[in-house]
Chains A and B, each alone.
Chain A
């Protein structure tokens, strides 16, 4: 398949990671890939907004909530909470506006919780891809 003719600028790795996290798909914007940025932003916002609308759990699991779980399940619960944070700006906005569905509450609304995790994963994918495209230009 043909390569997309994109004019790329040299971007500092830390800046790409920071902007890519804060603004969903922002890494693409820094290396001049506006269409990919628009697509990543739209996907993350749609997934995150749908997750909030379905009352997904956004809070970090408390130790009392993890009580009785085996080590692996507990680790997976914390990994899921970490991935939601990778959604970046939308996650921060939701936390700042006092959206407070607890970890266990999120399990009762698992459609929403899954969508919040998907939003974080898409942003992680966008960040990794922007990183790889940046490496190509070096």
Chain B
């Protein structure tokens, strides 16, 4: 499995697990999942940029 696909799968699983817990409405859960997914994507981009900056 290509690394980016695997990373996206893990991000989606983390977002889903974050939205799964707690007492929220369906709309709130969707918002939590979306926010978690975007946070993961931002962290991936930031980490990737950092690695590129370190290794050149």
**A interface residues with partner B (beta carbon < 8 Å):** 1-4, 6, 35-36, 39-40, 42-43, 46-47, 50, 54, 111, 114-115, 118, 122, 125-126, 129, 133, 136
Return the chain B residue nearest A3 by Cβ.
B23
Tell whether, in the assembled complex, residue B20 and residue A126 are in contact, meaning their CB atoms are under 8 Å apart.
yes
Return the chain A residue nearest B32 by Cβ.
A1
Tell whether, in the assembled complex, residue B21 and residue A125 are in contact, meaning their CB atoms are under 8 Å apart.
yes
Tell whether, in the assembled complex, residue A122 and residue B23 are in contact, meaning their CB atoms are under 8 Å apart.
no
**B interface residues with partner A (beta carbon < 8 Å):** 1, 6, 9-10, 13, 16-17, 19-26, 28-29
- With contact pairs A2-B28, A111-B1, A111-B6 given, residues A46 and B23 touching in the complex (Cβ less than 8 Å): no
The A contact surface, by secondary structure, is: helix
| Contact partner, A39, options B9, B10, B16, B28, Cβ 8 Å | B16
Listed A/B pairs (12) with beta-carbon separation below 8 Å: A4-B24, A6-B23, A42-B16, A43-B16, A43-B17, A46-B13, A114-B10, A115-B9, A118-B10, A125-B17, A126-B20, A129-B20
